Chains A and B, each alone.
Chain A
Amino acid sequence: MVRMRMSDSKLWKTCVSAIASLIDEAAFKLTPEGIKMKAMDPSHVALVDFELPTAAFIEYDVKQPAILGVDLTEMNKIMARAKAEDEFILDLNEEKNRLILTFRSASTRRFSLPLVDISEAELPEPKLQFTATADVTAGIIQDGLRDAEIVGDNVKFELTEEGFFMYTESETGATELKLHKGDPALLKLNVKQPARAMFNIKYLIDMTKAVGSADAITISIGSNLPIQLDFPIAEGKGRLRFLLAPRIEAE
């Protein structure tokens, strides 16, 4: 038997929406300790690393480890129907191989979603030596990315002792965003070695669109390494992490 109950649907909704913008299908691993999911997008450019421990649920009943293959596009459509005040329950109908999603507030609404077969390729764990990290208010990053999108396809991130910077440049023009050390929106800055790298804007917008603008995003980079974005979920008990590989800059 599998049953998971959350006091509201918001957390699951935001996570699924962000993940679904990168990948179409995912294999959620359920263990008595919690849910885990890790997957790469079809072009092997982005990676999602998602974890929700039992503490994030008000009821969590998984006796046997199980893998749920989910069509995220479909699940995202269902989650879009959830209201903020809805209590959210996930059940597994093992006989019919379906996931049952229940939203309960004034009424009880139930959706059933067929599970899909996903061949599970074990992902090698990226071992990356990031040299700089910063905690930034999500709204600032979201704005910066939307600015950058006007001008180009790629944005350059730079972290130095002075602060956090984003630059975009193309034939159409240029944009920049600066956060200096001490600015309130730059919550934390830790630079062992200054670093810069360039990334696809569209991917970053997809990854960040789900988080609330007041939340903090932890950004880690290293020169010409992938960028790592960590979102605080379930009061820091869970993990929603994205990795995005850097653009190869023109010589």
Chain B
Amino acid sequence: MKKPALLLYGPAGTGKTVAAQALAREMNWDLVELNASDERTFDVIRRVAGTAATTGTLFEGTASKRLVVLDEADNVYGTADRGGYRAIAELLKQAKNPIVLIANDQYAIPVDIRTLCLAVNFRRITQDSIIKVLERICKAEKIEAEPLALKVIAETARGDLRSAINDLQAVAMGKRRLTIKDVVIYRRDRGVNIFEVLTQLMRATSCKHARELLWTLDRPPDDAIDWISENVPRMLLSPADLARVYEALSRADIFLGRTRRRQTYGMWGYASDLMTAGVALSREGQLKYVRFQVPSSGLLYARTRGARAVRDGIARKIASRCHTSSAVARKHFLPYMGIIFKRDKKSATRIAAELELGDNEIKFLTERAYPRPL
């Protein structure tokens, strides 16, 4: 069956929109684009795209065609009531002109619309192709670029040609010569994605490169170490590598602890070197591909936030009655109270009345599996 529309999908910066524009130019079609910046409600899609899709052009009437492009079709306004998508479905059924939908994620588009489209996948662009484009631009702009500099830009872009070109423009603006140094400094300022850093960290071959990766990341080392220790060990295949990596991480952690206790931020440098260069160069064996995860320590903190608040509230009440600090109350009193509340209802009632405990606090003491540490 002939489909009324084309669905171009794939990651950002792989040429989807440009391909639609090139098609219109090649075929000499008038082009109407509806972007995410336009307010795309049911009414707007129906009025603008609907009319465009069923009407001839101003220049040749019905003798020529118009291409209607709905960019970012996976991000249509009014997803809650599907109003925008209802309009698109209607549009595809009535269209007399060619239509192109563009999306990053084809599965974000409702299936009844997807089945009306001929789907074409745009893939990430290979590093070599990106480098070739960058070289061509440099040549046209008369910029002498170090091959390594272009390679690093292409690597960072991870298949996104547009971001590679934007980066090149940002680093090379007003320069006749582009060096690797310019690129590294720029990336530090920009703040890079943690996932990119993790990927590159384990492939770093020099101490210098590994350390510089952390600089590009806009995170303090005590945050970075959570990400590294969550993800890096899972990438390793050899147990010997794993042992060495953990050795480096634990030494880094010792320095982080000293920094915290003594407020001597000079020690951050040692911690950073150990968690980057120390980890990266500990590896001898193969790496495997893993899906990166958010540090579980952070998740644990987030999940237990409510419970910790209740616990600390009880500790403060104990502290004020027993003339002690809430830290001591939490550490030494709470576990026993947990046992009392589970085993001795009578005493529990008396203590609850004495401390004026609330319902959620009593519940916490009776139900939580104290004295398991939080």
Closest A residue to B97 by CB, please name it: A248
Q: Are B32 and A246 in contact (CB under 8 A)?
A: no
Instruction: Find chain B residues with CB under 8 A from A70 CB.
Output: none
**What 1/0 mask marks residues of chain B from 112 to 126 whose CB sits below 8 Å from any chain A CB?**
000000000000000
Q: Are B96 and A248 in contact (CB under 8 A)?
A: yes
Instruction: Report the separation of the CA atoms of residues A43 and B34 in the bound assembly, to the nearest whole angstrom.
Output: 9
Instruction: Find chain B residues with CB under 8 A from A124 CB.
Output: 59
**What 1/0 mask marks residues of chain B from 154 to 174 whose CB sits below 8 Å from any chain A CB?**
000000000000000000000
B51 at interface (Cβ–Cβ under 8 A)? yes
**A154 → B minimal CB distance (Å):** 9
Closest A residue to B60 by CB, please name it: A225
**A159 → B minimal CB distance (Å):** 15
**B100 → A minimal CB distance (Å):** 15
A45 at interface (Cβ–Cβ under 8 A)? yes
Q: Are B56 and A44 in contact (CB under 8 A)?
A: no
Q: Are A224 and B56 in contact (CB under 8 A)?
A: yes
The secondary structure that dominates the A interface is loop
Q: Are B58 and A224 in contact (CB under 8 A)?
A: no
A126 at interface (Cβ–Cβ under 8 A)? yes
A229 at interface (Cβ–Cβ under 8 A)? no
Instruction: Find chain A residues with CB under 8 A from B97 CB.
Output: 248
Contact flag A247-B58 (CB < 8 Å), given A42-B48, A43-B51, A44-B32: no
Q: Are A248 and B57 in contact (CB under 8 A)?
A: no
**A126 → B minimal CB distance (Å):** 5
A204 at interface (Cβ–Cβ under 8 A)? no
**What 1/0 mask marks residues of chain A from 200 to 212 whose CB sits below 8 Å from any chain B CB?**
1001000000000
Of A44, A46, A243, A247, the residue contacting B30 (CB under 8 A) is: A44
Instruction: Report the separation of the CA atoms of residues A3 and B58 in the bound assembly, to the nearest whole angstrom.
Output: 34
Closest B residue to A40 by CB, please name it: B58
Instruction: Report the separation of the CA atoms of residues A117 and B49 in the bound assembly, to the nearest whole angstrom.
Output: 25
10 more contacts with CB within 8 A, not counting A43-B47, A197-B62, A248-B55, are A44-B31, A44-B58, A45-B52, A45-B55, A225-B61, A226-B58, A245-B58, A247-B55, A249-B62, A250-B96
Q: Which residues does B use to contact A, with CB under 8 Å?
A: 30-32, 38, 47-49, 51-52, 54-63, 66, 96-97
14 pairs, CB–CB < 8 Å, chain A vs chain B: A42-B48, A43-B47, A43-B49, A43-B52, A47-B58, A127-B59, A128-B59, A226-B56, A226-B61, A243-B58, A245-B58, A246-B56, A247-B54, A247-B56
